[in-house]
Amino acid sequence: MRIGLAVGEVRGPASLDDVVQQVRDAAGGFSTAWISQALGLDALTALAVAGREVGGIELGSAVIPVPQRHPLALASQALTVQAATGNRLSLGIGAGIAAMTAGMYGLPADRPAQRTREYLQVISPLLRGEAVDFAGETLRAVGAVQQPPPLPSLTPAAPQVLVAALGPAMLRVAGELADGVVTWMTGPRTLAEHIVPSAQKAAAQARRSAPRVVAGLAVCVTDDADEVRTRFGAQFAMAGQVPEYRAMLDREGVTSPAELLITGSEAEVARAITRLASTGITDLMLAPFGTPEEQNRTTASLGA
């Protein structure tokens, strides 16, 4: 199991300089730096900037909601990041939280699995430099994106495509058409009994390689786990009401996101990570939580 760090706004308000520094910290001992698209910085632009500043680490989006980004536009963005960073991008995408897709953007949020299936049928060939002429039930796309040349001595390469997938239908789509799955706030039992086997079964039926499974969870190394858990529960309380996440909390048998926070002493956090390694996931994406001092302690402890 590879361990990476989440960077950017999932850890609190972050400037572009903050993201670059967080990626630099991650490059000191972690496999990957992951960023999600929130309401501030553009995630892919931030990765391009950070990737030019910091070498030697894989960069991933976890994830970019795609309803407001046509695949021709997103493919162009992703290939630009791939060129800027020397083929180090893993592109995580998702259907988006339905309440935000409809409420903020006024876009349809029905049939997320079908929309994701069609999106993957378009963006995957585009990332390989192929032309598309696609007319589906939810998406129309005609054209191609020229692959920008990467850094000297490298040839263009398509980034891996990962899909935010929690429910059975989305896991089938991801296993059949993508390179892997990304989860957030999904516990070890649900990962082992639902996420990993469902994605692997779908990939096997489609005669694809075993998928990458990237599990995202928050973490805080602390001497007062109860106090940290209370703070985390208050900050992420609304996430527990989102239907997509609520279903995973119910599967895990917990009542709130705070129960999934990895927290405690260095030894307690290490034991929790060891348990996660036994679930079959390929990657663990850890988002340090708390004050800057708490996050620094957590990052240093995890790196050690």
Q: What is the pLDDT of residues 259-303, one digit of tens each?
A: 999 999 999 999 999 999 999 999 999 999 999 999 999 999 998
Dihedral pair phi/psi, residue 196, rounded to 5° = -60, -55
Averaged pLDDT, 206-228: 98
Q: Round the average pLDDT of the chain to a whole number and report it.
A: 96
Please list the alpha-helical segments (H only) found in the chain. 16-26, 43-53, 71-85, 98-105, 112-127, 168-177, 188-190, 196-205, 225-235, 243-252, 266-277, 292-303
168-177 vs 112-127: helix crossing angle, rounded to 10: 20
Q: What is the pLDDT of residues 173-200, one digit of tens each?
A: 999 999 999 999 999 999 999 999 999 9
Residues of the chain with pLDDT > 90: what percent? 88
The domain made up of 1-164 is a member of CATH 3.65.10.10: no
